[in-house]
A and B are shown apart, each in its own frame.
Chain A
Amino acid sequence: MATRMKLKLKTVFVLYFMVSLMGLVYALMQLGQRCDCSEHDLPKDRAISRLRDELYRLQAQIRKLEATKQPQNQPPKSSLPTIFVITPTYSRLVQKAELTRLSQTFLHVPQLHWIVVEDSPRRTPLVAELLRTSGVTFTHLYVPTAKERKLQEGDPSWLKPRGVEQRNEGLRWLREDRRDQNQQGVVYFADDDNTYSLQLFEEMRNTQRVSVWPVGLVGGMKYESPVVEGGKVVRFHTGWRPNRPFPMDMSGFAVSLRLVLAEPKACFDGEAPMGFLESSFLKGLVTLDELEPKADNCSKVLVWHTRTEKPKMKREDAMQSQGLGSDPAVQV
């Protein structure tokens, strides 16, 4: 009796094993082939085909628009002078936000090459990832500022000049990288907290030597501006130290690439007294009467020297002291 039972059990096991093995083999074979799962995918397939039709329609529309644009006197995009924008940046809470909205502005401007220079001993992953996903043509550089030249916690923002080494590094790269090419280009220094209108970039694109325009919300005034008479800049309208050679903000001028390459010694002097940073660069490049006024003879404000508040971290600091700070893995 016992042996027969055992035998039965053994056969049961063997049968079971064979069945399961066959089932597995069958399943594996099914995987290799395309599944006929039409009942899952029907609504999603419909959505995809709808989107696809939409896409074709839009592409046709775009092609039609481009076709009608050709007869006009528009220079093909590749011959537009490239605008090289040099942005020094440094790590702080609002850095990602500032660079994000800056990239959103730059993404609208054709033939723009963004040179981001970090105040850091190495490239940070935050900036690298942001630039990579932004869609803007970019160059990612870095140079750390020496400790004694850096603003310390609690220093007023005007105490030491900021971004000097970084802008100089941007100029150095430009001179190195573009020295053999004869292409037209414009160099613009854009800080990461200012606000730029799209029209500004079109105004500066055809700079021959150095072009200038008004800047809003700077120098303790609603705007600072060059004063234009007879199509030439005769003096500057500014409320603070108007006797500087070029009493302008960094965002108020652009230099042609040709000039930057022709004067390889011209760069920003970190030792210059407060407010003379721009002048230290420009005096080696151009004289007052050579300046090209833009923005409708310097009567429109196309760039604003906005500054972003430092976010209050009182509660964060309190929480961190208790060991309950917000997850540092979440990138802000």
Chain B
Amino acid sequence: MPKRRDILAIVLIVLPWTLLITVWHQSALAPLLAIRKACHHLVKEIFIIPERFAVHHHRLSDEGGEGKREAGGQDSKEYCASDKDIVEVVRTEYVYTRPPPWSDVLPTIHIITPTYSRPVQKAELTRLANTFLHVPNLHWILVEDSQRRTPLVTRLLRETGLNYTHLNVETPRNYKLRGDTRDPRIPRGTMQRNLALRWLRETFNPNSSQAGIVYFADDDNTYSLELFEEMRSTRKVSVWPVAFVGGLRYESPKVNAAGKVYGWKTVFDPHRPFAIDMAGFAINLRLILFKPQAYFKLRGVKGGYQESSLLRELVTLNDLEPKAANCTKILVWHTRTEKPVLVNEGKKGFTDPNIEI
């Protein structure tokens, strides 16, 4: 008899406290989360996928699967419930202004792309430009591996309408061809990336308040628009998974439960200081400006250690910020374009060389 009473007493004591704690926990966190997401969503909804909100006709055919995305607007409604006027105003037709208007609030993303002349160059830069034209506050730093700026790239950059800087530096021929172990080749694009870093350091004052993010984007990879929004909140160096590198479906940083990077999920030399691809990280501009000695190492860099040669001068493993849902989503793919087979050109060239491809 006393046993039952004791149990009842214990239950009566514990129950209200557990209820209290769970309910209080929920209510305290939810408003904070909502506000943060609301800010994020405002930016996303306005700039990234405005087509969602376009007025559209809705066809409900049996073939199914047709139609524009219309449920997206509901997300922002949930969070910004108090600001009904914002949600209404955002629902406008997609305005095909290229690129999106410059915002005073968003940090600028400086994208450094080394490029070199080859048949697929114009195609690669064209589709890269088509991607970048969707990203607000983007500054494209294109560095050619050539003695002087080529008219092809100059014209292309001008016609896109993007905010760009066109640089060039030629990698000395002997560095490209020599293959002996004592003087290994410079990995491709190194001098070009270093030139861009130097340009940034010369152009931007470390004391100015201009927020910026630096990202190295090769011209043959594929980038999703979500990636750029993920990297915009970088404080020091942020990292995420990259598909199709290292002979795997994807390589990714290892993130522990506390949200910190503690290792690298790769097969190829996972003990590198930073076992990550060039497309897998972004650096805050302030960090680049505060450490003016940090560059990619030119000579004596083993394959796969290029990224480490820069990152180890900037940041430690502990400071890395994992993005893309704690490094579980793939937002960038290391695609490579096949070299086109030009057999039918023959020795003298069959096609008119004046036509630019």
Chain A contact residues, CB within 8 Å of chain B: 13, 16-17, 20-21, 23-24, 27-28, 30-31, 35, 37, 40-41, 44-45, 47-48, 50-52, 54-56, 58-59, 61-62, 65-66, 77, 93-94, 96-98, 100-101, 104-105, 107-108, 110, 123, 128, 131-141, 173, 177, 195-198, 214, 216-223, 225, 237, 239-240, 299-301, 304-309, 311-316, 318-319, 325-326, 330-332
Q: Are A55 and B126 in contact (CB under 8 A)?
A: no
B177 on interface, CB distance cutoff 8 Å: no
Q: Are B64 and A140 in contact (CB under 8 A)?
A: yes
B97 on interface, CB distance cutoff 8 Å: yes
Among A131, A177, A312, A326, the one with the most B-chain Cβ atoms within 10 Å of its Cβ is A326
Q: List 26 A-B contacts (CB under 8 A).
A: A23-B20, A24-B19, A31-B27, A37-B31, A51-B39, A55-B90, A62-B95, A77-B93, A94-B244, A107-B51, A134-B69, A135-B68, A135-B69, A195-B123, A221-B345, A223-B355, A240-B344, A301-B355, A304-B126, A306-B340, A313-B247, A315-B246, A316-B248, A318-B267, A319-B248, A326-B249
Q: Are A55 and B344 in contact (CB under 8 A)?
A: no
Q: Are B95 and A219 in contact (CB under 8 A)?
A: no
- Chain B hits for A50, CB < 8 A: 105
Q: Are A65 and B351 in contact (CB under 8 A)?
A: no
Q: Are B330 and A319 in contact (CB under 8 A)?
A: no
Q: Are A52 and B96 in contact (CB under 8 A)?
A: no
- Chain A hits for B36, CB < 8 A: 44
- Chain B hits for A58, CB < 8 A: 46, 101, 103
B265 on interface, CB distance cutoff 8 Å: yes
Q: Are B357 and A27 in contact (CB under 8 A)?
A: no
- Segment at the A interface, from B129-137, B143-151, B287-295, B297-305: B129-137
Measured between C-beta atoms, what is the minimum distance from B225 to chain A in Å?
A: 7
Q: Are B247 and A314 in contact (CB under 8 A)?
A: yes
Chain B contact residues, CB within 8 Å of chain A: 9, 12-13, 16-17, 19-20, 23-24, 27, 31-32, 35-36, 38-39, 42-43, 46, 49-52, 56, 61, 63-69, 83, 86, 89-90, 92-98, 101, 103-105, 119-120, 122-124, 126-127, 130-131, 133-134, 222-225, 241, 243-244, 246-250, 252, 265, 267-268, 328-330, 333-338, 340-346, 349-351, 355-357
Measured between C-beta atoms, what is the minimum distance from B240 to chain A in Å?
A: 12
Q: Are B32 and A239 in contact (CB under 8 A)?
A: no
Q: Are B247 and A316 in contact (CB under 8 A)?
A: yes
Q: Are B267 and A13 in contact (CB under 8 A)?
A: no
- Chain A hits for B252, CB < 8 A: 326, 330
- Chain B hits for A35, CB < 8 A: 27, 31
Q: Are B103 and A308 in contact (CB under 8 A)?
A: no
- Chain A hits for B52, CB < 8 A: 135
Among A47, A101, A141, A307, the one with the most B-chain Cβ atoms within 10 Å of its Cβ is A101
Measured between C-beta atoms, what is the minimum distance from A330 to chain B in Å?
A: 6
Q: A100-B224, A101-B223 provided; 5 other pairs, C-beta below 8 A?
A: A138-B65, A177-B61, A198-B130, A239-B350, A240-B344
